[in-house]
Amino acid sequence: MTAVDQMDILIVEDEVLLAVELEHMLAEAGHHVVGHAMESGEAVTLAGRHRPDLALVDVHLQDGPSGVDAARTLTNDCGAVVLFMTANKQRLPADFAGACGVISKPYSEHGIRRALDFVCACLRNDCGGRSPPPGLDISPAFAARWRVAH
C-alpha cells in the first residue's frame, strides 16, 4: 500500500451519483481514488493501468450483472483486493468471486470508514482475532487468511 492508512482505490459503480458520493467519502477518509468505472471492461483497464490496493465493486454494472466477473479478473489478473458494495448480496457466489467481503447497500459514511479501516488493517496483517465491524461481511477465504470471525 502507498501509506499506512491510505489506499489507492478503484470505484466500480454504474450509478454516477453514488460513485461521486463514495469518492468524496473516500477522499475525506484520506484515501486516493485512482478512477471510476461503470462497466466491467473499463474496470479491468483502469485496474491494469493504476494497480489499486482495493477495488469497491457493485454487482450490477452498465453491462449487466457483470460485477462478479469483474471482481474475479481484478483479483486474479490485476492483483487487486476487491470489496463488493451491493444491495444484491444474494447474487454473490459462495466464494465471493475472490473478493475479501461485502458491504451491503445502503451504507453510511461511518460504516464505510469503519469497513475500510478494518480492511486496511488486515492488509497490513494487523487484524487477527478482531471481528469485522457491523455491515462488513468477510468472505470465508479472507476470514481464514486474516484470522477473523466471519
Q: What is the pLDDT of residues 35-45, one digit of tens each?
A: 999 999 999 99
C-alpha cell at 127: 487484524
Domain 8-146: which CATH number of 3.40.50.2300, 3.40.50.800, 3.40.50.300, 3.40.50.620: 3.40.50.2300
pTM of the model: 0.93
Q: How many residues does the chain have?
A: 150
- Check whether 2 has a pLDDT greater than 70: no
Domain boundaries, the chain: 8-146
CA-CA distance, 58 to 13, in Å (whole number)? 5
Q: What is the pLDDT of residues 10-43, one digit of tens each?
A: 999 999 999 999 999 999 999 999 999 999 999 9
Q: What is the pLDDT of residues 91-146, one digit of tens each?
A: 899 999 999 999 988 899 999 999 999 999 998 888 877 899 999 999 999 999 99
